[in-house]
Every structure is written in C-alpha cells, then in structure tokens.
Structure 1
C-alpha cells in the first residue's frame, strides 16, 4: 500500500495517540510514587548479624531508630512481618531475621539519567501535582479528540486508527518489559 503525506500524517497521528496516553499516564504515576522508587537501584548488599531482644514486643520504633549499621541516613519506617524486622531508610533497607539476628543491609544509589529525568515529574508543591495531573489529562483529551477529527471511511479511527493507537500503547511496553 502506498501512503501519501496526508495518509502518513494520519497514521503517525494514530500511532502517537498511544504514546501520548502512555507517557501521560507515566507522568501521573510519577506524581504518586510513594510506594515505588524507579530512580534507585541496589549498589551493595552487606550481610550483618546483630543482637535483638528475645521478646518481639521490645522491638519498637525507638529501638529500630537507635540501631546503628555504620551509615548516616534518614529513618523512614520499620515493620515486623513473618519473623523479620524490616527497617527502611532513605538510601538503605535493612532486613533482619528476628530469631537469628542475621540479615542484610541493602544500599541504594541514584540511577544516572533516570534520577535526573524523574525530577521533571517530581512535585515541588501540592499545586504542581494538580497542574501536572491536569496537563496529563489534557494530553489524553487532545489525543482522543484529535483522532476523532479525521474523516470517516475505511481509514477512520473507528475502522483502522484504534488498531494503530493500541500499537502505540504496546510499543513502549515492549521496551519497558522485554528490551529494558
């Protein structure tokens, strides 16, 4: 099939609808990243052995805050689940078996380029989050309404464009889950 400029523009437009939606959603997810840290990766895992209280009830937040592992870092939280003490710091995670006192300190470092790129999505104020979310929703609306402006017929969004839009969504997922 031979494509002229208008047909190429139309088909590329349909394809980029999926990309705009995918990247808009990733921006929204970056704004709400409390539970995951894409900019960190493990640099070092160091085994440790420490003496813990015999009674699990004696392992309190104050106790966890006062443990020393040879680094200075901001304490975030601790938890005890399935016989394991987990302590989270800004740049470290500590996991210790309560019965044996054996565990490990996992040290994180910022991922080059990704950490800097994430600054574009990180909030500086509550209003920035709302602005970023509104912008992302606006991009989705622009993509969808733009697709509806193309003529009816065998090359319309309803007939063919939706397939290219789905391909545009799948394309970055291939890089995300298979290639990367």
Structure 2
C-alpha cells in the first residue's frame, strides 16, 4: 500500500475513532459539569446525626474521623477528609462520602457509583496515570497528523491553498477573540 496523506489520515482516524468519540463526549460533559456531572451518582444515602467536638483540632484528626466512622463500619475504608468553613467532608474507599455540618452535626452519608460508560470516559479524560498521559500525548500528535494530512487531501478549487485556509483562519481567530473578550 502506498503511503499517501489520504491513507495516513484514514488509518490514524480509524485507529483512534474510539478515543475520539470518548474524548468528545467527556469533553462536552466536562464543559457542562455545573449542570450535570455523570462521573458518579448516589445510589444510596443515609441522613445521620454526629456528635462533633467544638475543638477543631480534635475534629481535624485522622484518629477522630476513624473513630466516628466505626459506626458505619467504614474506619478501615477511610481515605481522607477536609474541613471547609462549616463543612466536614470525609472520603472513604469505594466512592463513599460523608458530608457534615460542623455546627449542627447533621450529616449525609452517600454511596456513589460511576455512571456506566460516560463516567468511565471522563476518568480517561481526567487521568493522571503516567502510561495514560503518554498515550494521550501520542493521541494528541495523531490528532495533529489527522489535521495536517486532512489539509492536504483535497485538490483543485476546494483545496487548502485555494479555500481551506480561509476556514482554518476563521477557526483560529474565534478562540483568540474569546480569550481576549473573556480572559
């Protein structure tokens, strides 16, 4: 098979079609995550009442958090916590989260699951795994190759030289205008 821009463009696009679709969906979802975030969903919740100490240092200790977690058999699943303002958030393995109001002790224990397919594509999109970062970098180079070879496929009056450069320029200008108007 002769290596041409058309063949290179086609074969790289075929190879990466699954990742192109996955990144497209997850990118759109990430853009609208304030309205809908399907990374995970609550499949069970429990309202609980906590007797929390007034001393923030005691409350902010791993030992204390593990102690209160024993009530739900989650002490061994403790994965971290944070205090922001009047809210205590405790993270447990298997996507379990406890949100508590420090002043009232009112809390919600949420058991969450990843949304099938969509949640998993978002995991790929946001991954910090070294292997995946390298694979994503290779994917980025492949996207550049698809873009460059795509510019060279068409000949004649619809070629990049005659017509395509105008659309490409318009496509480049729009993001810059957006960045200037909305820094």
TM-score for both structures, normalised by structure 2? 0.57
Structure 1 spans left out of the alignment, 5+ residues:
1-8, 31-35, 167-180
Spell out the pairing of 1:40-119 with structure 2 (5 A cutoff): 40-59=40-59, 60-68=61-69, 69-72=71-74, 74-90=77-93, 91-114=95-118
Separation of aligned partners in 1, 2:38 and 2:66: 25
Separation of aligned partners in 1, 2:167 and 2:121: 34
Shift of 1:108: 0.2
Q: Larger relative contact order (C-alpha < 8 A, sep ≥ 6)? A: 1
| Cα distance change on mapping 1:115 and 1:139 into 2, 3 Å | same
Higher helix share: 2
Separation of aligned partners in 1, 2:100 and 2:124: 36
TM-score for both structures, normalised by structure 1? 0.58
Please list the CA deviations of residues 63-91 of structure 1 after superposition, one character each: whole Å capped at 9, or x if unmatched. 11232252447322211111111111232
- Aligned-residue Cα RMSD (Å) equals 4.2
Q: Runs of 4 or more off by more than 6 Å in structure 1?
A: 118-123
